[in-house]
Structure formats: C-alpha cells, structure tokens
Structure 1
Amino acid sequence: MSLLATFESIKKNFKLKPQTYVIDNWVFKLHYKATVLIFLVSSLLVCSRQYIGEHIRCIADGGVPEHVMNTFCFFTSTFTVPWVNMTAEILSKTTDIKHLDASLLDSGNLAHPGVGPYGMNSGEPIKKHAYYQWVPFILFGQAIMFYITHLLWKKLEGGRLRYLVDGLKLAAFALADEEVTVRDSKIPSRQDKEKKINQIRQAFLTRVYINKTWSLKLIFCEILNLLHVILQVLITNTFLQGNFYKLGVEIMDDGLESNVDILDEVFPKVTKCTFYKYGPSGSIQLHDAMCVMALNVINEKIYTYLWFWFIFLFVCSGLGLLWRLLTLVLHSRSKKFNQMVFANTCPGKLNPWNVLTVSKRCNYTDWLFLKYLSKNIDGMVFREIFIGLAEEMEDKEPSKEALILSEEGGKYD
C-alpha cells in the first residue's frame, strides 16, 4: 500500500463531521483528535520509503556486501563521536581529537559533525544511536495513550446526555401531529416533543440521569489531560536521551553562530558503524562504514513540531482548567456571565429572571449539564426547556410572605 493510500485510510476515520452528541469541549478534542492524528501521520511518515528512499545507506569497503552492512547497521545501532570546542586543557591531554572541534566544521575542514577516525582500540567516547528503530512504535503508542482519556470519559459519562437528547435533533420542526421522516432523519410529532422535553425537565429536577459526580468526573478527565501532556514530554525526553527538553529553545537560538546545532547532535544525518567478522586466519577484521541516515531528516521535523505542539497543548489545557474554575465560581453569582455563556446556544436573549432563577437554584453539575444540553439540541428547544425549568423552580420555591409567616409562627411556638 502506498503512503497516499495509507493517508486516505486515516482520513476516512478522522472526518470532520458534526457529532451526534457532544460531551466535551474543543480543548478535550485537541487531545484525542488533533494530537492522535498528528502521531498517526508521524508514525506513517517514518515508515515510508516512497519519499525519503532507504532509511539508511552505508558506505563501506568491499569486504562486506552493501545490503548486509545496511541491514546490520540499521538493526543494531550506529554511533557518532561527540564534538566539543577545543580548549587549552583538552589540547594538553590529547592531540587526536581535532575532528571533534565544531570550529573545524564551520571552517569547512570537517566533513560531518561527529564523524571521524575511530579505531578498534580507540578510547574516545562515542554516542550510540539506536532510537530510530523504535520511533514508529513509540509514536503509535503515544497516539493510543492520548485517546485513552477520551475513552475513560465516555465510560464515566455512560451515554446519559445521548439518552436524553435522542430524538430532539429536529424537534424545532415538530409542527405536525405525526412523526415525519426526512431522508435518514425523523422529525418527532408535537406530542413526542413535549414528552421528551418533560422527560428532560424531570431528569434535571430529580437528577435521575445526571448526578452530582458528573461534573467532577469531567473535571477529573480534564486535569488528567493536563497531567498527560507532562507525562508525554517526560516519555519523549527519556526516549531522546534527555535532549527533548531543550530542543525547541536551542533550535531558535542556534543557526547564527555555528553550523553545529542541536539537531545535528540528536538527529545526525551521517553516522558511523563498525562490522566485525573473522578473517581467513581466524583473526577479527574491522570493517568501518559511514552511514547516511535519511530517516533522521523526517525524525527531526517530527520531534521539532511535537516540541511546539506540546507547549501549545499544555497552554490550552491550562487555560481550559482556568475557564472551568471561572465557571465554577461565577455560574450562580453573575447574571451577565450566564447570559454570555448561553448567548451562542439560545436564540434571542434569555429573560434575566429565568437566568437568575435557574442559576441560583442549581449546583455546578446541574449548570454544567444545562450547558452541554444546549450544545446538543436546537436553540429553540433548549430555550423552551430553560424557561420551563425556571417556571417550575419558581413554583416550588416558597414565597417570601410564606417564609416570613413561618418564621413568625416559630417565634410564638
């Protein structure tokens, strides 16, 4: 299957189509939709040979066949000799590490950073690179991890909102006494509409389907999303041998003073590989190879993008929690805040008396349920439900005169 055909298969499963019901917000969707898609596309890119060619191609002597050397170096590991800027202290200790000097690369006297003479008994330190074998598996595993919180919230929510709003998708057009079918959708009759609306009101007032822990579970999953971003940064940094934390910062700082940057160190394009075999007399022969790592051209782009994406995702998740805290504080205290929140989901302006009546008599779970209810049904239907709730709550609330009389009666008792 070609790469484009594979992308087509992903596209079919990630169509941007309206959901039948909504139980989360756009910040939550960034985790289980946008981020999962990024990781899946990235894992396919590092597996593709259609555009980057062979993942590794090694140049060696004729003692080892080329395909054997390529396979050996890819499935074992390659290495580079870490480079340093020359100092008087280093020069006083050894004279055999000039190929490590970054200034030589800038002057054009070094072919590739980290590539230089390295013999069988050399004591110079080396840095092995074996992570590229695991990149597609790690990326795919991270995509699954980002989807887990969505599955957890669906399990905790239990389809309660879907059960309540089912059948009200086209309820605003319920003008006939009988149910009408339009293509694949059904417009309920007026009686069914009233029955469903009454069911939602009763469910809200008696908390049959939405209990007090509903909002706590949602907030828990949103906090989990924020912590999960931090966990993924830790995983990626460990996978890249501690180089991911500083990747984005050094990319923005590098490039002006030296040709050697953080990408050359973490994702070297040219590496070394050593193949040992027994010669005709039984002695060990060393076959040195210089390998071109075409795969690292893709890897560096992926992990650079992921560094900035994780920053963006962390900021959005933090702002989402701040918004949740703000709604927790203001949902029952500010009429203006409620009018602003429900302005986009209800046509016209809600009566301030209705907003005040409902918001002051609701706990946070009830208020949050109303907010998500407004996302899942037509605005006219939601307005009818909201006004009906205000009237029922007002009827059930004791009048001020009754409260005064009861208090006076208690004094005489």
Structure 2
Amino acid sequence: MFDILRNFKGLVRLERCDGPVLYLASRATPAFLAGASILLAARQFVGNPIECEHTKDIPSAVLDTWCWIHSTYAVPSSFSKEVGVEVPYPGVDSTRGYRPTKVYKWYQWVAFLLFFQAILFYMPRWLWKHWEGGKIHALMMDLDVGICSEMEKKQKKRLLLDYLWENLRYHNWWCFRYFLCEFLSLANVIGQMFLMDRFFDGAFLTFGIDVFRFMESDQEDRIDPMIFIFPRMTKCTFYKFGVSGEVERHDAVCILPLNVVNEKIYVFLWFWFLILGVLTFGVVIYRIIIILSPRMRVYLLRLRFRLVRGEAIDAIVRRSKMGDWFLLYMLGENIDSIIFRDVIHELASRLGSAKRVEP
C-alpha cells in the first residue's frame, strides 16, 4: 500500500507552469480520486464487499456472489418506519403485495467510475503539459536560484532578454491554450456533478444539502440521506429449483460494509466539487477581465512585482499583447526577483528606443 501511495508523489507535485486552481483541479483532485479508486478496489476484490444472510439450501458463497453481481434493493416506503418495531433496518421490509422498490446496481462500478473521473480531471493538465512544452523551465535557466557568478548571470539574462525581444507579440496562442485548460477544468467539474447525479439516479446534486438538512432536523422525523443513497443493509431475491422441480424464491438480507466508505468519499466529493467549481468559475471570470482590460494587467504586475518601476510595466503592457503579459507574469513567479526586475527594465528600455527610431 505504501508503494502505491509513493507513486502519487509525481501526480501531486507542484510544477513551475501550474496555476493554483489548475493544480487543484488537474493534479490534487485526480490524485484523491485515483487513491479512493484503489482503496475501494482493494476492499472490493480482496475483501468481502457483501455479506448475505442465507439458508442451508444455498451455499453462502453462491448467494453473496449472486447478490453482488445482480444488485440488491430496498423498499423506499420503509425508510420512515420505526427501526426495531416496524422494520429491522431502514429500507428492509416485506415486499408482499405491490411495494415499489429501489434497486442498487451501481456499487460494484464505483471503483471504476472514480478512476474514470480521475482521468477526466487530469486531461486539462495533460493538454497543457503537451502544449506548454517546457517553455517556462527552459527560459528560467536556473535563474530562480540567483546564486551564480556575475558572468553567468549576465549571460543568462542576455539570453532571456533576447528571446523576449525577438518573440514579442507571439505568445497569444500559447497563453490562450492555458486559459482553455482552465475553462475545460470548469466544464469538467460541472459535467462530473451531472455525471454522478445520473449515476446515483438523480440523488447527487442535492446530496450535500440533504446531509445538512438531516443534521439540523429533529431526530424523530429525519431520514439519513447517506443511508438512502448508500444503504448498509438491503434485500436480495434468489430463485432456484426445489426438490419438486418448482421455482423457489429465497429472500436474503445483505450487509454492504463497503458503503460505509463510499458515503464518506462522496460527501467529501460533493463539497470539494462545489468549492472547486466556485474557484474555477472565479478564475475564468478573472481571465476574461484581464483579456479585456490592459489597465488590469498593469495593476496586477505592479501589485505582484513591486521592485519593477511602474513606467517600465506601462511601456511593456502598452507595446505587447496578452500572451507576452502572461509569459512575463509566469516568469516573474519563478525566477529571482532581482533578475526579473533587471530583465523587465532592460526590455522596457529597448521598447522605448525602438519607438524613438520608428519613422
């Protein structure tokens, strides 16, 4: 188990080109989902995920396997009945006559769904890693350390400055690809909320709200929404031929210990997806604002990099495009602040000189 967990170090490691929200959506979330998937798969395929009460006529292994594969069910009308008096457990009741039942067919698929969700969450990060191509790391040239000889530092600053000067106004496509990955992260969070709502038969979108209501309601008239979606005890019907050749029906009561883990995972995921959706939506709105407002880009550079002169920032934002601003912001986050200040001042000086010689 520890060997498996060690393999997630690379997934949760923060890299130079990661924004905080993209990191949460495309690295931290897939790591949690993949870890939960492995945990459930280990309990599902190594342990015993279901235990059914059986008679001597049916081997226990046969009944457990049948009920696990062919699903179990509960009686919704019995969730509000008094436990120990009218029913032995919420959802477990006699089905004589016509009583609607709620069938649970999803629990053997939870581990696979979580792993599939982890892949979907990682896709924006994979796309950005492919599109970014190591540009930030290549331009850094170990300038984040700041401890090197003056000759080496001067040479690396010159190389960085030459690149920025020669490729000015050519970074928009690279920048908008990053914004696209952030938008895909937002679409992914929203889409996965509806995916899980469909998976749980329309009970997931309001799951967290129902849990809050359950905690605040009176103990006598409240129904635990976690038991309704993730029942710990259900019923199963098994048919077999009797000694006379007639079909015999056997009703079994089954315990699903795996649902104790499932409910905790999905309560966390409901709140986590809600928080992640709000943060990602805020980032998308923030990106739209900085795309439409050069003044906001100037303000953000001044606020973040106080060592840089304001007139230098004004000159660069005025003569460059959105992609150049984004590249400079990313570089400023990752290299030594003194070196970044010198590069920005020199780039602004070159832009001023070029403007003066224009006809």
Aligned counterpart, 1:243: 203
Aligned counterpart, 1:115: 92
Distance 1:313 1:291 in 2: 36
- From 232, 256, 264, the equivalent of 1:301 is 264
- From 103, 123, 128, the equivalent of 1:153 is 128
Q: How does 1:28-107 map to 2 (within 5 A)?
A: 28-49=22-43, 54-83=48-77, 100=78, 102=80, 104-105=81-82
Q: How does 1:238-317 map to 2 (within 5 A)?
A: 238-255=198-215, 256-257=217-218, 258-317=221-280
Distance 1:124 1:137 in 2: 32
Aligned counterpart, 1:346: none
TM-score between both structures, scaled by the size of structure 2: 0.90
Give secondary structure in 1 for the equivalent of 2:2: helix
C-alpha contact 1:203 1:210 (8 A) present in aligned 2: no
Distance 2:283 2:36 in 1: 26
Change (3 A) 1:301 1:6: farther
- 1:141 corresponds to 2:113: no
Letter in 1 for 2:339: V
Q: Which runs of 5+ in 1 are unaligned?
A: 84-99, 177-189, 344-348, 407-413
C-alpha contact 1:160 1:209 (8 A) present in aligned 2: no
Residue 338 (structure 1) shift: 2.6
Residue 59 (structure 1) shift: 0.6
Deviation track 1:240-279 (CA, whole Å, cap 9, x = no partner) reads 1111011011111124232422222111111001111111
**More displaced, 124-133 or 4-13?**
4-13
- From 183, 200, 215, the equivalent of 2:160 is 200
Give secondary structure in 2 for the equivalent of 1:290: strand
Residue 386 (structure 1) shift: 0.8
Distance 1:161 1:208 in 2: 15
Change (3 A) 1:263 1:167: closer
Aligned counterpart, 2:5: 8
Give secondary structure in 2 for the equivalent of 1:112: coil
Change (3 A) 1:76 1:334: closer
Change (3 A) 1:60 1:6: farther
**More displaced, 385-394 or 131-140?**
385-394
Residue 107 (structure 1) shift: 8.1
Q: Which runs of 5+ in 2 are unaligned?
A: none
Letter in 1 for 2:5: E
Deviation track 1:329-360 (CA, whole Å, cap 9, x = no partner) reads 444467544310324xxxxx222222222222
TM-score between both structures, scaled by the size of structure 1: 0.79
Distance 1:134 1:114 in 2: 22
Give secondary structure in 1 for the equivalent of 2:82: helix
**Percent identity, aligned pairs only?**
30
Residue 214 (structure 1) shift: 1.6
Residue 175 (structure 1) shift: 2.1
Aligned counterpart, 1:393: 351
Residue 71 (structure 1) shift: 1.3
Distance 1:365 1:101 in 2: 58
Distance 1:164 1:49 in 2: 47
Higher-Rg structure is 1
C-alpha contact 2:12 2:28 (8 A) present in aligned 1: no
Distance 2:37 2:228 in 1: 22
Letter in 2 for 1:23: C
**More displaced, 72-81 or 330-339?**
330-339
Give secondary structure in 2 for the equivalent of 1:289: strand
Distance 1:331 1:25 in 2: 21
- From 284, 296, 320, the equivalent of 1:321 is 284
Distance 1:289 1:384 in 2: 76
Distance 1:395 1:101 in 2: 78
Deviation track 1:199-222 (CA, whole Å, cap 9, x = no partner) reads 322222222795321221111111
Residue 136 (structure 1) shift: 0.2
Structure (1/2) with the larger helix percentage: 2
Deviation track 1:274-304 (CA, whole Å, cap 9, x = no partner) reads 1111112211111110001111111111111
Count of aligned pairs between the two proteins:
355
Distance 1:293 1:333 in 2: 55
Aligned counterpart, 1:375: 333
Distance 2:242 2:300 in 1: 82
Change (3 A) 1:273 1:106: closer
Letter in 1 for 2:266: Y
Give secondary structure in 1 for the equivalent of 2:18: coil
